[in-house]
A = this chain, B = another copy of it.
Amino acid sequence: MFSHATTQLSRIKNTIREQINSEILAEMQKLPSERELSQLFDTTRITIKDALVSLETEGLIYREERRGWYVSPQRICYNPLSRSHFHQMINDQNRIAETKLISVRSEMAAGKYAAALEVEGITPIHIIERLRFIDGRAVLFVENCLKAALFPSILEQPLTQSLTQLYAKHYGYHTQRSRFDVIPTSAPLNVAKALNLSEGQPVLKICRVNYKQDGELLDCEFEYWRPDAVMIQIDSRA
């Protein structure tokens, strides 16, 4: 009367987990295809997929849509309160960072933007969408939303660098305070596309609002992280 000896699912998960822990499967290495795995484990693709999804939830593997499954590299430690910007943070952890500009548009604040910026009247804003890579892998989709009035002609600047640095250099704005929310949820379609996720896969969403030295609200930002790629680290002393 063993309570449920070992399910097929645990058998598959344990085997793959061991292969990863013992580094037979290296970081970022591709797993065999679902069809191959289902032959190797003598089961169906559905069962294999259930096992893979479960390991994905654990943060051990990830997938690129229609490309395959891969072993997750170590998580990046991310301290949203630190002054350090993305490229510096990644470099400090001996990883390689890249940023690609996706799109820029200007419109009037509405919906989630108006709410996040705490504006009610008609307020022109700029929205900058960027995609960020670690070791060549797209892991972070960022949407920045700036009050246009505070940033004349910012769209003529190079936008793949740190915006915070740009704020300081060109406008003399320094972030004095920030507030942010961390929410486990699923990827909206445009985010999923950019990160090579399929619709509805999990992401870690971080919404932040920055205030400048005089306390005025500066900009807000929506970050969508691949959940296996990151771990948030906060120290109340800092």
Binding site for B on A (CB under 8 A): 10, 13, 46, 54, 57-59, 75, 77, 80-81, 177-186, 199-202, 204, 227-228, 231-237
Chain B residues near A234 (CB-CB < 8 A): 80-81, 179-182, 234
In the complex, how many angstroms separate the beta carbon of A204 from the nearest chain B beta carbon? 6
Chain B residues near A228 (CB-CB < 8 A): 184
In the complex, how many angstroms separate the beta carbon of A213 from the nearest chain B beta carbon? 13
Chain B residues near A182 (CB-CB < 8 A): 182, 231-234
Complexed CA–CA distance, A99 and B179 (Å): 29
Q: Is the CB of B232 within 8 A of A181?
A: yes
21 A-B residue pairs with Cβ-Cβ distance under 8 Å, sorted by A, are A46-B46, A57-B186, A59-B183, A59-B186, A77-B181, A81-B236, A177-B235, A178-B235, A178-B236, A179-B233, A179-B234, A180-B233, A180-B234, A181-B231, A181-B232, A182-B182, A182-B232, A182-B233, A184-B228, A232-B232, A234-B234
Q: Is the CB of B186 within 8 A of A58?
A: yes
Chain B residues near A181 (CB-CB < 8 A): 77, 231-234
Taking CB as reference atom, which chain B residue is nearest A235? B179
Q: Is the CB of A227 within 8 A of B54?
A: no
Chain B residues near A237 (CB-CB < 8 A): 177, 179
Q: Is the CB of B235 within 8 A of A200?
A: no
Complexed CA–CA distance, A125 and B59 (Å): 29
Complexed CA–CA distance, A204 and B58 (Å): 11
Q: Is the CB of A184 within 8 A of B204?
A: yes
In the complex, how many angstroms separate the beta carbon of A81 from the nearest chain B beta carbon? 5
Chain B residues near A231 (CB-CB < 8 A): 181-183
Residue from B77, B81, B177, B202 in contact with A202 in the complex, judged by beta carbons closer than 8 Å = B202
Residue from B54, B177, B184 in contact with A236 in the complex, judged by beta carbons closer than 8 Å = B177
Q: Is the CB of B236 within 8 A of A200?
A: no
Known: A234-B234, A236-B81. A54 touches B186 (CB 8 A): yes
Chain B residues near A236 (CB-CB < 8 A): 81, 177-179
Complexed CA–CA distance, A80 and B181 (Å): 12
Chain B residues near A77 (CB-CB < 8 A): 181
Chain B residues near A200 (CB-CB < 8 A): 13, 54, 57-58
